[in-house]
Structure 1
Amino acid sequence: MPATDPDHTQAALSSDAPLKPTRQRKVIHVDMDAFYASVEQRDNPELRGRPVAVGGSRERGVVAAASYEARRFGVHSAMPSVSAKRSCPELVFVKPRFDVYKEVSLQIRAIFSEYTSLIEPLSLDEAYLDVTENLKGVEYATQIAREIRTRIWEETSLTASAGISVNKFLSKMASDQNKPNGQFVITPDMAPSFVAGLRVGKFHGIGQKTEEKMNRLGIFTGLDLRAMSIEALRQNFGKSGSHYYWIARGIDDRPVRPDRIRKSVGAENTFERDLSSYEEMTEVLAPIIDKVWNHCARTGIRGRTVTLKVKYQDFQQITRSRSVQDEVQGRDGIARISGELLAGLFPMPRPVRLLGVSLSGLNTEADEAVTDDGPQLSLGL
């Protein structure tokens, strides 16, 4: 059987592949609906029904979250606040309250823990749950998802959406289908056609740059991705190529990991031409810092250590770090420390081909917290 045959199992193809589970898993992805904005609308009746953006309204501000009323105008997370206001003149900006979001997230996490101990938080507003063996002995994962969503509403006055399937990738894709306040099931029989019709940019874990590279290779949909050999994908995307090969077939053997803790958050960029001047480097650092801060703003993560990564023309790599006592204060704090670390390296011995910025010593290391119903599955999901 050829390696590109979608029926060829991962374990049969590769000796170092993870073993296929002997029992069909039941995985739920729970995703809170417009979490930060919904909390603000819940706590302030004057904001209900209005377009709301959580984030800074100043010139260099960024939207951390947008209500569904704001999304109708094209406002979305990580969008510059100036652009958001231009798209929606009636937009109301609200300062983030991460202490409140974390408190609510812990309430939701407590609900999850009544059903399973296998909970993998992705951020304050979403998590995977493995309910193959659940604490309440409920047969159907769809019923568990429905009960959890009802409990969340009753205890927090917030809505959640859920995706149910046999693995993490498919459940994540499913949770987007009936948002807000709905759930969706992808059965094993549905998986191949569902994935085949997806644009690769919709795949969880495939960002804009990877999507653009795939498009240049003629890969636009899951069906196109499935047509690629595993060797070709590894050649073009390194270790990630194997993962893309399997998710194009709806196969994802990654376990739900309750001990998953993010140690750092960072971004980097390799330049089309090598850079030599401080002015050039500070200019290209700005969007890198934006990416780091956008993730922090979206997830509530904060950290104490900023690290600057520099890769020279000859591929030699160095890092420089600085820590503060409490936590780095906002995007401006990350930018200030990064700029000072960069300035300390001048004059540069060689031109620079890559710069990166990361934030570590995260608050998650000590206390990480945790977004029309689908058909009931006869095969036990």
Structure 2
Amino acid sequence: MYIKRILLTIVLVGLLVGGIFAYMVYGTFFTPNTSFANEKAFVFIPTEATFDQVKESLEPLLEDMDSFTAAAERKGYTANIKGGKYAIKKGMTNNDIINTLRVNNISVKVSFNNQETLEDLAGRISQQIEADSASLLASFKDVDFLKDNGFALENGIAPYIPNSYEFFWNTSAEEFRKRMLKEYEKFWTVERQEKAKKLNLTPKEVVALASIVHKETAKVDERPRVAGVYLNRLRKGMLLQADPTVIYAIKRKTGDFDTIIKRVLFKDLELDSPYNTYKYGGLPPGPIAMPDISAIDAVLNPEKHNYYYFVANVENFGYHMFAENLVQHNRNKAQYIRWINSKNINR
């Protein structure tokens, strides 16, 4: 009888201990452990982050950090941390959170357009993914990468087609560059390449001309007409005489790409730069900015006409007046000069 009591006591104690242990395990793994009011919150885990960094990122989101730490250690997460962006949903348990941090790296939308320089592009992208601007710029300007893929520093911005793309937040600079090269190659379909060939232009030359068209007019519906003007000039062997190339040449010489130049002066036309299309024939060595897709397609699908000249239309701002000959152009230009003088725009 005595032995039975001892055994029963042992069993009861075992059940009690087991119950306490089960309760603790349940509390550690399966009790909701979020402290925010919104439906979800996002956490960014850096590449090669330590567990302390993970805890620091999660601190504002959790009710009980000790239970999360215990669960993470038991599940082996502390030795298998993966960088990325993760969504923590309201009411998640420690088990849910750890499973999410293991496998549910979510993508971010990366958008860019109209960057003038690789420096601008690097700064823009670094605001959207983990890679910093210095590493991005170094990868963009990597001489071996450029040479291996048929580019140079002068046209190094060409592979980056403005658009919105899905990336993982922890994408490296080299991974970003590699993906953009693939997108560039995908963009240049057989159809687009054939259109470029019919214009006697390479894809890189198309991008260079598109950058001028892009800078000349913000009106998408006018871009095919402007592209037609420049293509007419190229076919006839005329100088492009594009003011945006002169402005770019000035910025390139001064190193100040933030300067605003509203008026190109006669003295500017004498600037000795391969980007000055008043002084040098043909296309500039590379794009003067990053053209958007509408400008590229405008060059590939130009309006067919006999215009060789154009000037800003002061009666329909944003658009231009086009002319087939110099007499007509000078008449249109005189109207523009009177207007710009009346506004005292000297630079």
Verify same fold: TM over 0.5.
Answer: no
Ranked by relative contact order (alpha carbons within 8 Å, sequence separation 6 or more), the top structure is 1
| TM category, shorter | under 0.3
Q: Which has the higher strand share?
A: 1
TM-score, length-scaled by structure 2: 0.21
Larger Rg belongs to: 2
Q: Which has the higher helix share?
A: 2
TM-score, length-scaled by structure 1: 0.19
